[in-house]
Structure 1
Amino acid sequence: MGDKKNSGAYEPIYSREEIRTVPGKDKLHVGSGLLPALAAFAALPTAFINGIYVDVTAHPLAEQYAMSARMSLSRSREYPALAALMGASTATFPAHLVLGGRIPLGDTVTLTPPLGSNDVEGMRGMVTEPGLEAGWSSAQTDVLRGMLKDFNKLEREQAAATRHPLWDSWIHLQTSLDSIYDKRLDQKLASDPGREQTYGVKQPRDNSALVLGAYQLLRTGLSPYVTVLLKGFDSHNQQLNVQKPLQLSFATALQALVQDLRQTPDPSRPDLSLADTTTIMIGSEFVRTPRFNAAEGTDHWKSASAIMMGKGVRDNTIVGQTNGRAEAMGWENSRPVTRTDLNSLTHEGVAGALLLRMGLGDAQSTLGKEALHGLFI
């Protein structure tokens, strides 16, 4: 909030919340809910994005677009779809990994399908060879593999005449399962009580567990693209009693994640750590109203914010701004201006910036908006 805390736009109680500057980064100021992650913001190149304009703040409409398997016209689901675009560029299986829910996939659902699960235990089951935990011998496992290959061959021959050509991609990808099984990735996805305590995990599917799951998946090398959907933030009552504990638990998990990324070699580049090769994007559909409702909670607000951390990020950077009424402003020539349809900061622009940084210009063009400049070096 900074100098806006006395503007009258915000609930007065916010002015009593602690705000600290990230060590060594004079432009980055962190509110009380994210203070446990202060060291993480100091350790990695970090940029904060404010005033992302949101046209639609209704969940049903956002869900309608998401389930239509198109990029969201609501400008509230582009970040999950971004993972699908990046994964599709690899043309490998799995193209990307999703924890915690469904994401919009567009055409990538057919050509480069993901692996998705509500929790990391479900993901572990997918990469564990059938019969392994039952104590099957290698000879028995070989028989099962042979049966699956024979079945797939028979299916291809019988269905070739009627099957849509795109489904050939799915069948071809089945041949990669043996190599996934042989890597015994399930061992890196097994429960780790010590790390669960560090991340603050209390339940198998809580947000802290999902953040820990993201780390476990990254260190397997199964895919460099991991999407995690966090839950519980859509609260409309008792703002400080509901939102702040969620923020604190996430910040604790984020701090543990960054620490683990810095200490873990990248499976594909052992000379580098995962922190050297990973970019973290933290975003939301929208933020909350600056004033409380009758239930002392907050509702949906036509603005959003994001945090970018890690590889390629322009450190100690602030992009975007809100005005004294907490409304999203525009962004032009690296400065805030009165917002118009042409200069609005959008989710598409943020996602497009990352796609361009990765050299995926074709994927960026599908977003239909100019990429935001100034986020990356």
Structure 2
Amino acid sequence: MADVQFISDASSVNADATASAGGSAFGEGDSGDGKVAAHTSTSARGVSVNAGEDGSASFGISSAAARFVGSTRSVTSVTSAPVTTTSTNVTTTRDGDATVTTTTNVTTTSTTTTRTEISAFESLAAYASNFQSVQTLFASPSSAEMVFDGDIAAAFSGSAFTRILSTPVTRTTTVADTTVTKTTPAGATTTDARTVTHNTAVGPTTVKTVARLPSDPSNALAGQVSAEASVNSDSDYTFSALGGPVTVTVQYATDAAPGAPLDYNLELFDGTTQTLVDEANGIGANAAGTIAWSLPSPGTYSLIASEVSDIYAYDGGGETQAASLATLSHGLFDVSIAVDPSAAVPELSTMLMTVVGFGGIGTLAMSRVRIAAASRRPSSRRPPGRTS
């Protein structure tokens, strides 16, 4: 009979994905408007296959994507205070024996109206994908290999700009009051005239573009996107140790890009009491070592190896995470179970022979006790020649 017996192995996987996108946009002023568009998509799937004593396998894949697009437009017009200038021109000429005096008073009034158009645009996108698998292979009931492989990726992109167009328009009104006085020996005559002219001049348009959201209070544009993909997989190997003490040894080595968002955990349970014997949590993405547990007594135990992976990308209020991340991950866990042969439980035939042997020894011992007791017992016969 083997010291370690296989009971069962079960793999499981849990895949999940979430995404969100949204925001607001509005423009104010003489005229304004805002538009937003948001879109999200998610996908999650998990599959587990158990092959009894040959091992088990499970994998999960999840992905999430989110996108936000927003734009605003506002138009404002500001008119300056009027600027007025005046001038007077007097000329004198001769017309025969008459003197002609011309007096012209010119009043010019100008106002400038500046038309400002502010347009803003923002585009945000977040993407996360996560693939994880675990495969358990058994070389023997007391030797197993658990292999974790994964592919993690996350990306974030965003752009924003503001364009400002400023166009001045100047309107000028000119009023000319003319007085003509003609003086002759016979007397003087006077005539008046007024001339009004208007002029509109459009100045050059100034265009300014900045790579940021608008700071003008008449415009507001804010978006946020997030994408998260998680996959958790584990393998539960249950075995029976028929002797004691029992030593469970796990040698592990993990490899992934520094900072990869995944951890490995090991847990050992007592299958009879359903209690946790010991655990090793938080084994990182780049680690190597050996873990050994000593079990003082035989029994049924479960060793659970699991991987937890959660990748996300988001932008909110200008704060970004996981702008770009892509990594392959690998985790190898070699499990070996050893039982002290000196304390192993005897096979059934040996146990029966032992019981029979102990029974024979016990019967012989009881016979010897009875013979010894009988030899010490007083005789009931009276000696000859004596009477009571």
TM bucket normalised to smaller = under 0.3
Q: Which has the higher helix share?
A: 1
TM-score (norm 1): 0.21
Q: Which has the larger radius of gyration?
A: 2
TM-score (norm 2): 0.21
